[in-house]
Structure 1
Amino acid sequence: MTTVSGHSEILVAREGELATLRDALRRVRGGEPAVLLVGGEAGVGKTRLVEEFTRGLAGEPVRVLTGQCLELGEEGLPFAPFAAALRELVRGEGREVFEGREADFARLLPELGPPSAFGEAHRGLLFELVGSLVARLSAQRPLLLVLEDLHWADRSTRDLIGFLVRSARAPRLMLLATYRTDELHRGHPLRPFVAELERVRGVQRVEIDRLDREGTAELLGHLLGGEPEPQTVDVVTRRAQGIPFFIEQLAASADPACADIPETLRDLLLSRVDQLPEAAQRMLRVAAVGGTRIGHELIAQVAGVDEITCESALRVVVAAQMIVFDPDGGYEFRHALVREAVHDDLLPGEHARLHARYAEAIEADPQLVPAGRAPAEIAHHWHAANNHPRALVAAKRAADEACRRFAYAEQARLLDRVLELWEQVPQAAELLGTCHLDLLEETALVAIDSGELHRALSLTRAALGDLDATAEPVRAARLLVRRAKLLRTAGKSDGFAETKEAYRLLTEATDEPGRTGLLGEVAYLFASMDGDEVQRIWEQVRAAVDQLGDASARVYAEITKGQICAGWMPAADGLPVLLTAVEQARACGDDQALSHGLVNVSDVLFELGRYAESAAAAAEGVPHAMRYGVSRTTGVYLLANQAEALMALGRWDEADARLAEAGRQDPPGLMALPWLRLRARLRLARGHARAEQVLTRATGMLGKPYVPCEKRLWMLELRILAALATGDAPAAVTTARIAVGDGGLLDRPRYAWQLLTTACRAVALAREPGPGQGASVDAVEQLAERIGAAAERLPRRYPAELAAAAQVEAELSGDAERWTAAVAAWRADGQPFELAMALVRSAEAHASDRPAAAAALAEATTIAAGLGAAPLVEQAETLARRLGVRPATAERAAEEVLTAREREVLRLVAEGRSNGQIAQRLFISPKTASVHVSRIIAKLEVTNRVEAAAVARRLHLIDD
């Protein structure tokens, strides 16, 4: 981890705030003064933002002076930040900057010598001196005056700031002041001062918010040197609550999961608590036991004091900004880590006593906590109080309540606690009215639903060990089917032995409840392992469903049939079956069946090239998966399917957001591959700096003992794409040969075609004279032959398959006309990125036809730039230079329509010059300069000078 002065060098998720500061500086360069008041909590990153902003000014004609207020309050040193700024000025430019007025400025800088004779009554003269100095300095070049920690400013400092803002108003002065919002209690003198300043023209307040989860994950990635685990991100997000300083401190701990509070941070957090009166500290300890949020009535009951005493102590804690008012009438700790530190500092007896009092209070009146939370709260407090019998009963009751709310993750944690307490409570079976085997199976099935893969494997193994399969064949089959799926998801085996044994048990249990649904699941598993058995099993499922006459069972059966069809039937034939099942599930209000069905519907629609419908179907299923509590499993597949369709539609930012959402669910085992694969492809296509982290995580799963065919193809293709991104032709060819030779390639045409087009790119790279060096010519040509042979055997039914086939033929032949056909095919399919790549290759094939090549590259560049696919933009521009053509993109066309004089004016606009300054530089009148600027804005089709400057930078006009 790289740190400077106790904080990270990395600034994340502050692009908007940086843009605000830069916009203000542009206005200052144009002669308009600006004042920015940057507020935020301690540790949120105010100083880091200012450092990043000032560091970006290196080499620019801007004078930067910095001063800091001291933590001495109203009795502190007057004008301390201004004295520091002037001291910095003297160090950099010498005493000559005061032009002989050193004695006057000696009141601010004693080291200048004896001060002049004007007295305290003439403080206004001192203000005028400072104002004149600032005006003179800013006239030479823009002046940035940074004043840190304004919440500690004395009155004299505030008065001088007010004078500079209201009266002096130096035209090219940017005053940037930071302050802590959490220090501004009701009577703080800075509150009215900031409110007054905001009414002055040119004053702008900038609030620095806490980081969201994505920002936390990005910062952790930089601090830990790699992609953090989703569980780690969740823990840090919950505990640090978006405060960068806390995130850095947690990341610096020895615990790789960032679960410990470092001692230095703990001491810092508790130092503020120690400053409170003893009564307030006692009340804070009571509140800390209750959680991050807690109601007033509950605190009062547990504290055991009268209302006046309670309110008096809480008022002190609120005034100290340790807790804040909750909108629901209670209180919330401002920082979760403060609550944690206070709670961990409790004495053992105090800890057990307070937790027991909370449990008793909530048991007596469940309305003291939010609706539905009483069982979980009671279970938590009895467990923390070490009352095992009451904790056991409360945990089981809370688990049952979580089940009713489909909160499977919470239910799984509570059932784990029940199992843990079972051995410690001799009368556990009597207290719960159940046996250990029932509890084991229930916990195992819930662990599956909550996505706790390894825990579920352990529990199913234990349950099967305690079970008599002969006496309870359906229960045994149920556990075996679940275990088979778990083994496949974990990549440990194909689960065939477990599936086969489950089928044997089900054939012997002809009349038992639950048999039909399990037969359907067995059929689905057999579809990828033993296709000959599938039809016979499916006939048994259908017969059992018809005999039952259960609508819900029929829906599941139809969905299972659709899933099975997807493995060995064309998508167009399987879609009607799935659509019928989904409509039945929707009519029945069966969320679980609906979400499962929509996974397959969206998948089939994508294969058919109906991308918008695919995205819509997946999006419909996401809330149903969430409602049913299967966000980590079914929900992730839905999000990945939606993202894939959005990528095909060219809506890459939306797709990336869906993939981020999928990643937050932390799907277990191979279930993570759908979103990892897509995010890796997206990051590679965009040249993302952190693409390698996702790639490594995805392709690392190839080492598992069992990987299904399609997922194996995904990972091999990712390895080829990674090699292509770095120009490593030998690695690309080697991996492509392995992938094309995979025995399962022809079983899944959708993914096979995608892999073959990528393998063709490896061939093309290897055939190039420069990059291709190192790849064996024989190996490359053998790969090309294998690609061609595989392509001949694959079906060509849907738009993407037809386009991929056309591209493979074009790549292998190099024929210009075939490339024209490939472009047309991708245009018909509608995927913009694939179209842009085909256009670039087509331009290369049409090298002799310069207009055609230029037109193809222009279209490819426009598409790639819109997607944010920087590597493809660079590839198109490189090819254009090599062919000696200029793609007529909008910006290049704009450059060509500007006159030489207008380009000169545009350069000065990009430097932040006002019309008057442009006129002075070019020896023209201000009116003429204004006309030029207006014409430039019109020709570039932008709305203001800032956008025109951005175009100038993209056109590299500033570098001329």
Structure 2
Amino acid sequence: MLDLMVVSAHSTVLVGRDADLATLHDAFQRAGGGEAPALLIGGEAGVGKTRLVEEFVRGLDARVLVGQCLELGEEGLPFAPFAAALRELARHEGGAVFAGREAEFARLLPELGSPPELGGSHRGHLFELVGALFARLGEQRPVVLVVEDLHWADRSTRDLIGFLVRSARVPRLLLVATYRTDELHRGHPLRPFLGELERVRGVHRHDLDRLDRDGTAELLGHLLGAEPDRPTVDAVCKRAQGIPFFIEQFAASADPRCGDIPETLRDLLLSRVDQLPEAAQRVLRVAAVGGTRFGHELLARVADVDDAALESALRAAVAAQMIVFDPDGGYEFRHALVREAVHDDLLPGERARLHARYAQAIEAEPRLVAADRAPAEIAHHWFSARDHARALVAAGRAADAAGRRYAFAEQARLLERALELWEQVPDAAELLGKCHLDLLEEAALAAIDAGDHGRAGRLTRAALADLDGEAEPTRAARLLIRRAKLLRNAGKSDGAAEAREAYRLLQLAPPDLPWLKLLGDVAYVFSGIDGDEAGRIAAQVMACAGEFGDEAARIAAEITFGKVCSGHLPAEQSLPAVRRAIERARASGDIPNLAHGLVNISDTLYEMGAYAESAAAAAEGVPHADRAGVSRTTGVYLLANHAEALMALGRWDEADARLAEAARHDPPGTLAVPWLRLRARLRLARGHDGAEALVAQAAAYLAKPFLNPDLRLGLLELRIHAALAAGDPATARAAARVALRDRYFHHLPRYSWPLLAAAARALPASPLSAPPGGGRDLSGSPLLASSGGGRDLSGSPLLASSGGARDLSGSPLLASSGGGSFAAPGVTSTASWDVVNQAVPDGLAPVRGWSGAGHVYLPTAPTHEAAPGEEPGLAGLIRAAAERLPERHPAESAYAAQVSALLDGGADRWRAAVTAWRADGQPFPLAAALLDYAEAVAADRAAATDAITEAGAIATALGARSLAGAADTLARRLGVGGGPAPAAGTEVLTAREREVLRLVAEGQSNSRIAQRLFISPKTASVHVSRIIAKLEVTNRVEAAAVAHRLGLLDG
């Protein structure tokens, strides 16, 4: 009989979770091997997420840290799970675990002492501290960090998790986070966050399913102490629907088959609460208002009962397993759903009264809760108590506290709570000590700091609507400048109207230090709109700065002035002034201006061709940007500048790492364009599978109503290269026409020259269009294979002007034609070398540039005329633009020589282009020019061989496997030696290994290779390892390059 059974409300055996446990242990093994995996475990409330994690960590040879997110309304509690985890760590190992950084960790654990006053922009430093701590712990043994109830996480907690997963990538750290899937309504902030994390390598989402009937029966048997009969199993299956927590509740009731238990979850939970003594029920109602976790002393203050009665009530609740002891010496509801059900069952007046009592108790004795929790909890309780005046004041104080702890999203939300309450509190301004406009401004700034530029824009617009600009010109100008910057960063407009109105209003305001800083901001905004006006305003700021003694304003103005001058004066003339400003910023400890100045100077140095100096300046600026709290804005520009200089120096791996770092910062709006453009170029050049996605993501910004001219021209260049790589020269020419019509084209030679070179690559070539003495008749060239007229673009150096070649061997844009060769849709690939001496087919002409298999043939058209369907004169437009653009620096001279050679051909012109690129020093465009030169001097076998050999060596060193393949192909077509001697072991590759190598060269993963060859992934991995060993290379990319270079894929 059931009434004779010993019923347990909590099973000691984990049922039906073997596969889930295996997933966790697999992730732990990867962490132990030095990786930084993360597992996001989702499931309905009560499905057993916590129980699964408890079973997983039991007996695990690792340092396990557990923290739980707390439910405190929408505002949450900043960093709550991390504070809990570190508090547990400190309790077990003492303060020494923080390696002398206790004061800095006090922002998370106030009991460690008073944190240093670092200002409000050092949240990135706090994140780095946490990451470094976990890294130190992981050196001893793997660390498992468990974050429970992620659906209640505040924005700051999510940001820190995102930093650990995307940026820090701490070795030997396994992050396990649990969340309720049924809490994720459409607008829940966790939904997009989970989507972002899933795109990070090593992060996996794992959904915990309900138990089936067999699992339900097994769990019931453990809970009841005997095998349940079929009717009982059927009844529980119907009601509990496989959710372990519900099954436990049914098993703990008097009769699991009881048909009068309501089907709704709340009634089910409350049915067990109702079985408690009335005193215990009352205490649970009081505790439920305090949250899932609560301390004994705070509960005693609010419950207002004597100690004996309170202890008796708690003992009954613990015995019924409604509440359990927590690690901090307090209590927590065993399941959060119990607390929710009890809280929701309170009468409205009762609920408000209890929230008010909690607020009063914490205000009177903040020590009753953790020091970092008091402001947020007070604000939450007063709001829930519907005491609008006290809720307003508490929200303001909690917002200040959140700002001091870099919890900017929570600060913004609390300030908006204050705005929401403003109209309901008659003396709001007196209570807060600020007016409504002050509050709007403060909320907008917090939104900017939190990265919510859209919300910041709306708040700024609201503030401007409430403001009389003529009466408060300084405030109006400040808001207009902020709006101008937000509009520009969002790509909505250039902000010119706002900047001009701000400047007009500043003429009405009395000059003082705030006025001077705003005038400098106006100059900065104008620098992207009207260089002459920006220069004039910056000069005015510099003159006034001396009068007011504001060194920071003067430095900022000089940096802005230098930026403006760089577009009007030779860089050699504008550079010294910026250098002086940077030195003064460095000497005075002016970190924000130092970071800003290093952006400008690294940019100018790159333009001058001083690539090593540019890289050094940008590298210096990155940590300064972090210290200044602008890592997502100025810091991303510095990372992009550093990467661009490294690319020019041929240090592509380092450049890619910097661009990956920029991506992890997730800059808002158009601030993402610099890193996106550069990484897309790099991936194109390296034949990376993700190139197309990055190109599409970057090109989408061209649809914005406004984009800075330099960004727009750079994206148009990228679009030309991507179209050429995809075998679509018509789209490339269309993009070129758009770029040539840009009104800033002739004012930005740094960006216009590479774009012009890309446009020239897209032109159809023809012997009919060659000017006297300058052109080259290619109609009989032995270099052009015409077996179907196809061209494999996978090894094209068409992207030479920007480091953009790409192997599109796996691209869905191109159709496979066998043998590892791919061609544009509708074009047959060259599959044989027997036709190398055939002429170009009648009526066709090749797009200029080298590839892995040949040329793409297009309808013949004179270079100076239009191709069919085109507007006339693209070649003429390119020639005219080239004549007009200045050649101020080595790279610009090299691009000019390249454009001239592409337009007119001839060995002399290509020799000049090679010489120019040598003078500039960028290896990739030099290698591409060398291949064009080799074609032009095909009759001179020695010269062609030397050029091809050098180009191939450069391409291999860079990891530009497409260009390496192009050099190999050209060498074979010319019948000259161009590659190094075969590596040892190449003659002993088996037929199967050659099959595997072909797929490696296509960029396929081991799992994809296994699918293609019908073998296991482990076998594929063994083959790849053997191939790498035989070819005497270190990785797959080098193996693919060797395969192309040595012709190992021909058979």
The normalised TM-score by structure 1 is 0.62
Distance 1:587 1:266 in 2: 68
Q: For residues 49-88 of structure 1, what are the structure 2 equivalents within 5 Å?
A: none
> Contact (CA 8 Å) 2:961, 2:1041: kept in 1 or not?
no
> Contact (CA 8 Å) 1:300, 1:307: kept in 2 or not?
no
Q: In the alignment, is residue 614 of structure 1 matched against residue 694 of structure 2?
A: no
Distance 1:492 1:402 in 2: 31
SS of 2:984's partner is: helix
Among 771, 792, 795, which residue is 2:856 paired with?
Answer: 771
Choose 378-387 or 487-496, whichever is displaced more: 378-387
1:456 aligned partner: 456
Superposed displacement of residue 726, structure 1: 0.3
1:894 aligned partner: 984
2:676 aligned partner: 676
SS of 2:507's partner is: helix
Distance 1:838 1:824 in 2: 9
Superposed displacement of residue 637, structure 1: 1.9
Distance 1:696 1:747 in 2: 27
Distance 2:971 2:685 in 1: 20
Superposed displacement of residue 435, structure 1: 1.3
Distance 1:645 1:301 in 2: 64
2:709 aligned partner: 709
Superposed displacement of residue 513, structure 1: 4.1
Q: In the alignment, is residue 883 of structure 1 matched against residue 974 of structure 2?
A: yes
1:538 aligned partner: 538
2:55 aligned partner: 183
Distance 1:549 1:653 in 2: 46
SS of 1:482's partner is: helix
SS of 1:657's partner is: helix
Q: In the alignment, is residue 756 of structure 1 matched against residue 841 of structure 2?
A: no
Offset from partner CA, 1:239-266 (integer Å, 9 cap, x none): 99976244799xxxxxxxxxxxxxx999
1:647 aligned partner: 647
Among 785, 800, 814, which residue is 2:891 paired with?
Answer: 800
Distance 1:368 1:792 in 2: 77
1:66 aligned partner: none
Distance 2:947 2:883 in 1: 28
1:414 aligned partner: 414
> Contact (CA 8 Å) 2:292, 2:339: kept in 1 or not?
no
Distance 1:592 1:507 in 2: 27
Superposed displacement of residue 371, structure 1: 6.6
Superposed displacement of residue 747, structure 1: 0.9
Distance 1:846 1:308 in 2: 98
Q: In the alignment, is residue 348 of structure 1 matched against residue 344 of structure 2?
A: yes
> Contact (CA 8 Å) 1:408, 1:447: kept in 2 or not?
yes
1:570 aligned partner: 570
Offset from partner CA, 1:209-259 (integer Å, 9 cap, x none): 9999699899xxxxxxxxxx999653456899976244799xxxxxxxxxx
2:193 aligned partner: 234
Offset from partner CA, 1:809-842 (integer Å, 9 cap, x none): 3322322343334334334433333333333333
Superposed displacement of residue 730, structure 1: 1.2
Choose 790-799 or 772-781, whichever is displaced more: 772-781
Structure 2: runs of 5 or more not aligned: 1-18, 43-51, 62-140, 148-160, 168-187, 210-238, 253-271, 765-797, 799-845, 849-853, 998-1025
Superposed displacement of residue 432, structure 1: 0.9
Letter in 1 for 2:743: G
Superposed displacement of residue 356, structure 1: 7.2
1:819 aligned partner: 910
Q: Would the alpha carbon gap of residues 887 and 420 (structure 1) be closer, same or farther in structure 2, given more than 3 Å must change?
A: farther
Q: In the alignment, is residue 685 of structure 1 matched against residue 775 of structure 2?
A: no
> Contact (CA 8 Å) 2:165, 2:197: kept in 1 or not?
no
Offset from partner CA, 1:124-144 (integer Å, 9 cap, x none): xxxxxxxxxxxxxxxxxxxxx
> Contact (CA 8 Å) 1:646, 1:652: kept in 2 or not?
yes
Offset from partner CA, 1:605-651 (integer Å, 9 cap, x none): 22222333333333333333333333332232222222322333333
Distance 1:821 1:292 in 2: 75
2:492 aligned partner: 492
Distance 2:992 2:737 in 1: 56
> Contact (CA 8 Å) 1:270, 1:342: kept in 2 or not?
no
SS of 1:773's partner is: strand
> Contact (CA 8 Å) 1:288, 1:340: kept in 2 or not?
no
Distance 2:379 2:460 in 1: 25
1:114 aligned partner: none
Offset from partner CA, 1:358-390 (integer Å, 9 cap, x none): 766765565677776653454456556765444
2:522 aligned partner: 522
- Which of the pair is proportionally richer in helix? 1
SS of 2:858's partner is: coil
Q: Would the alpha carbon gap of residues 907 and 647 (structure 1) be closer, same or farther in structure 2, given more than 3 Å must change?
A: closer
Superposed displacement of residue 548, structure 1: 0.6
> Contact (CA 8 Å) 2:457, 2:486: kept in 1 or not?
yes
Superposed displacement of residue 848, structure 1: 3.1
Structure 1: runs of 5 or more not aligned: 1-6, 22-38, 45-179, 190-204, 219-228, 250-263, 911-934
1:843 aligned partner: 934
Distance 1:713 1:285 in 2: 64
> Contact (CA 8 Å) 2:488, 2:494: kept in 1 or not?
yes
> Contact (CA 8 Å) 1:325, 1:332: kept in 2 or not?
no
Distance 1:493 1:757 in 2: 30
Q: For residues 615-630 of structure 1, what are the structure 2 equivalents within 5 Å?
A: 615-630=615-630
Superposed displacement of residue 352, structure 1: 8.0
Offset from partner CA, 1:899-918 (integer Å, 9 cap, x none): x7x989999999xxxxxxxx
Q: In the alignment, is residue 632 of structure 1 matched against residue 632 of structure 2?
A: yes
> Contact (CA 8 Å) 1:555, 1:593: kept in 2 or not?
yes
Offset from partner CA, 1:416-446 (integer Å, 9 cap, x none): 2322232344442232122112212222344
Q: Would the alpha carbon gap of residues 884 and 234 (structure 1) be closer, same or farther in structure 2, given more than 3 Å must change?
A: farther
> Contact (CA 8 Å) 1:517, 1:553: kept in 2 or not?
yes
Distance 2:525 2:574 in 1: 17
Offset from partner CA, 1:871-897 (integer Å, 9 cap, x none): 33443344344334454246x34367x
> Contact (CA 8 Å) 1:300, 1:310: kept in 2 or not?
no
> Contact (CA 8 Å) 2:292, 2:332: kept in 1 or not?
yes
1:398 aligned partner: 398
Letter in 2 for 1:590: D
Superposed displacement of residue 349, structure 1: 5.3
Q: For residues 256-271 of structure 1, what are the structure 2 equivalents within 5 Å?
A: none
Distance 1:230 1:637 in 2: 28
Choose 776-785 or 547-556, whichever is displaced more: 776-785
Letter in 1 for 2:521: E
2:585 aligned partner: 585
State the percentage of identical aligned residues: 55
Offset from partner CA, 1:728-772 (integer Å, 9 cap, x none): 111112211221232211211111122122222222676359524
Distance 1:857 1:210 in 2: 56
> Contact (CA 8 Å) 1:603, 1:614: kept in 2 or not?
yes
Letter in 1 for 2:984: A
Q: For residues 902-917 of structure 1, what are the structure 2 equivalents within 5 Å?
A: none
1:833 aligned partner: 924
Letter in 2 for 1:747: H
Letter in 2 for 1:234: F
Q: Would the alpha carbon gap of residues 618 and 937 (structure 1) be closer, same or farther in structure 2, given more than 3 Å must change?
A: closer
Letter in 2 for 1:894: A
SS of 1:693's partner is: helix
Offset from partner CA, 1:148-205 (integer Å, 9 cap, x none): xxxxxxxxxxxxxxxxxxxxxxxxxxxxxxxx9863565899xxxxxxxxxxxxxxx9
Q: Would the alpha carbon gap of residues 785 and 950 (structure 1) be closer, same or farther in structure 2, given more than 3 Å must change?
A: closer
> Contact (CA 8 Å) 2:640, 2:678: kept in 1 or not?
yes
Offset from partner CA, 1:560-582 (integer Å, 9 cap, x none): 22232233233222222222222
Letter in 1 for 2:596: H
Letter in 1 for 2:929: A
Q: In the alignment, is residue 443 of structure 1 matched against residue 443 of structure 2?
A: yes
> Contact (CA 8 Å) 2:408, 2:450: kept in 1 or not?
yes
Choose 847-856 or 639-648, whichever is displaced more: 847-856
The normalised TM-score by structure 2 is 0.58
Superposed displacement of residue 504, structure 1: 1.8
